């Protein structure tokens, strides 16, 4: 039985020393044995791998392109979206695979060991499907296989261009499917990954503006047995348009018309009333927070303190992939609460370590959102482990919860030393085993897109 030995490791019951982790043939943890006599260690400080619950892989290649001030005084998410639409018109399947492979390597090196790919780039630029209807999804899956990251593939149902069943236009044609075509795509994705236990297939109605109440109800009834993710309440304009079209706000409408539970993940949920916050927390659904992207796009501040105090579940995602860093996502979430409240250590219980609280909560919520047994170093879970470099200046002289406090609040992805996914040693000394080859392909892709 393969085994790994760690001098210090974060188990569900707390920090433990001299621990052996035994792994079965499929990459799951078989047993965890503390207080062993160990002569050599695979890592000095080990924590569970983190789930990245929300990613649009292709957007990694446009990071930086949206940082030009437009002529309009209201430069916003909506003007950024126009830049994104123009960019994706040039992408072909080969580009998408090269971009996703580079992105997933960066995620793994940062400590993410599984990703929820909210995948809506389905068709050719004019909306014509590829001969292989799931061509683009297959490229995402291939990138996950090449890099080793766990994958929850979330094919997106996108049927309309806005509230009121507005027709799709322009770049949106690449996203669009009617319910019948979407269900075909979902089935093709399931067939594609049938023999890969580390890949889960769910479904993602893009947003309430991209579906109708009837088509959403049909999709939800057909897509059982897997996670459901949806963009919701990211922008004030979106909330106002939803209120005008459906008579209430997006989160309230979902709570009234669907049985939200732990299979649902509401991405962003930024603009909620106190009543919506409490109800969403009680539902068991996960709030999918993307703090770096939400700050980059000027979305607003999630009601994190109230949601946490109400027992809500949350996880983190890198969304637009402008930056890939576990510590920075958690730090950005906490700092947004501090800036709003003009107070410190907001998303943690009295007397607890803030970094540890954030990490534990995001690991639990992310695992739930991806429907993957991960986020805990315990039997029956994937052997996803992240080893921190205790000699990094941010971690030197620290121990136990202060390792996490220091990684999250004074460190970055450079604190990550080694990573194992499903028991495979994929990152050594901070570098993914396929980093160089992937970077070369990514550079070629970017040169081709620039030409």
User: pLDDT tens-digit profile of 73-127?
Assistant: 678 888 889 889 999 989 999 999 999 999 999 999 999 999 999 999 999 999 9
Residue 445: name the closest of 142, 97, 126, 123 by CA: 97
* Dist. CA 39–CA 139, nearest whole Å: 43
* Dist. CA 401–CA 424, nearest whole Å: 26
At 405, give phi and psi (nearest 5°). -55, -45
* Dist. CA 127–CA 299, nearest whole Å: 29
- Residue 448 domain-assigned (yes or no): no
Mean pLDDT value across residues 378-387: 98
- Residue 227 domain-assigned (yes or no): yes
Using DSSP bridges, classify how beta strands 264-268 and 228-232 pair: parallel, antiparallel or unpaired.
Answer: parallel
- Residue 346 domain-assigned (yes or no): yes
User: pLDDT tens-digit profile of 147-162?
Assistant: 999 999 999 999 999 9
| pLDDT reported for residue 72 | 67
| pLDDT reported for residue 442 | 97
Mean pLDDT value across residues 246-265: 98
Q: Is 256 left (phi over 0), alpha (psi -120 to 50) or beta?
A: alpha
pTM here is 0.97
DSSP state of 168: P
- Residue 387 domain-assigned (yes or no): no
Q: Is 392 a catalytic residue?
A: no
- Residue 16 domain-assigned (yes or no): no
* Dist. CA 8–CA 31, nearest whole Å: 16
Other beta carbons within 10 Å of 393: 12
DSSP state of 265: E
Residue 49 near residue 367, CB atoms below 8 Å = no
Q: What's the total number of domains in the chain?
A: 1
Mean pLDDT value across residues 318-330: 98
Res 1 pLDDT > 80: no
- Residue 386 domain-assigned (yes or no): no
Nearby residues of 256 by Cβ (< 8 Å), 6 or more positions away: 248
Interior CA angle at 356 toward 355 and 359, to 5°?
A: 85
- Residue 417 domain-assigned (yes or no): no
What domain range is 337 assigned to?
Answer: 49-378
Exactly one of 42, 159, 299, 319 is catalytic; which is it?
Answer: 319
Exactly one of 56, 123, 268, 271 is catalytic; which is it?
Answer: 268
Mean pLDDT value across residues 187-207: 97
Res 323 pLDDT > 90: yes
| pLDDT reported for residue 409 | 98
**Terminal CA-to-CA distance of the chain, rounded, Å?**
51
Q: Is 126 a catalytic residue?
A: no
Instruction: Write out the two tokens for 49.
Output: 């791998």
Residue 152: name the closest of 179, 114, 121 by CA: 114
- Residue 105 domain-assigned (yes or no): yes
Which residue has tokens 């950024």? 80
Instruction: Write out the two tokens for 104.
Output: 């997933």
Nearby residues of 157 by Cβ (< 8 Å), 6 or more positions away: 177, 179, 182, 203, 204, 205, 206, 210, 211, 215, 219
Look up the CATH number of the domain holding residue 338: 3.20.20.140
């Amino acid at each position: 039985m393969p085994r790994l030995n760690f001098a210090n490791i974060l188990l569900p019951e707390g920090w433990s020393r001299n621990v052996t982790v035994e792994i079965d043939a499929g990459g799951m943890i078989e047993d965890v044995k503390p207080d062993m006599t160990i002569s050599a260690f695979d890592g000095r400080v080990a924590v569970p791998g983190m789930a990245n619950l929300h990613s649009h892989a292709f957007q990694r290649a446009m990071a930086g392109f949206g940082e030009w001030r437009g002529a309009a005084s209201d430069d916003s998410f909506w003007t950024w979206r126009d830049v994104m639409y123009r960019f994706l018109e040039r992408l072909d399947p080969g580009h998408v695979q090269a971009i996703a492979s580079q992105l997933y390597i960066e995620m793994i090196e940062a400590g993410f060991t599984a990703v929820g790919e909210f995948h809506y780039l389905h068709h050719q630029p004019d909306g014509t499907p590829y001969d292989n209807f799931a061509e683009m999804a297959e490229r995402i899956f291939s990138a996950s296989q090449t890099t080793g990251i766990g994958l929850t593939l979330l094919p997106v149902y996108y049927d309309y261009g806005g509230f009121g069943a507005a027709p799709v236009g322009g770049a949106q044609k690449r996203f669009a499917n009617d319910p019948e075509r979407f269900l075909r795509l979902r089935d093709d994705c399931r067939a594609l990954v049938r023999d890969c236990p580390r890949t889960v297939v769910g479904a993602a109605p893009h947003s309430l503006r991209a579906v109708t109440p009837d088509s959403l109800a049909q999709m939800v009834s057909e897509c059982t047995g897997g996670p459901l993710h949806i963009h919701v309440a990211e922008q004030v304009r979106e909330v106002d348009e939803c209120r005008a079209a459906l008579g209430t706000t997006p989160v309230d409408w979902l709570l009234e018309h669907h049985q939200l539970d732990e299979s649902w993940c509401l991405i962003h949920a930024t603009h909620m009333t106190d009543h919506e916050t409490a109800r969403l927390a009680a539902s068991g659904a996960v709030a999918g927070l993307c703090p770096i992207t939400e700050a980059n796009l000027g979305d607003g501040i999630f009601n994190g303190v109230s949601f946490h105090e109400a027992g809500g579940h949350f996880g983190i995602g890198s969304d637009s992939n402008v930056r890939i860093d576990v510590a920075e996502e958690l730090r950005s979430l906490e700092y947004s609460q501090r800036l709003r409240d003009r107070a410190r250590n907001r998303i943690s219980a009295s007397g607890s370590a803030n970094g540890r609280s954030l990490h534990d909560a995001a690991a639990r919520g992310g695992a739930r959102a991806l429907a993957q047994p991960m986020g805990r170093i315990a039997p029956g879970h994937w052997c996803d482990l992240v080893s921190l470099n205790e000699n990094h200046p941010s971690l030197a002289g620290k121990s136990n919860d202060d390792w996490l406090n220091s990684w999250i609040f004074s460190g970055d992805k450079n604190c990550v030393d080694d990573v194992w996914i499903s028991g495979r040693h994929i990152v050594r000394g901070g570098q993914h085993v396929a980093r160089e080859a992937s970077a070369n392909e990514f550079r070629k892709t970017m040169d081709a897109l620039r030409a």
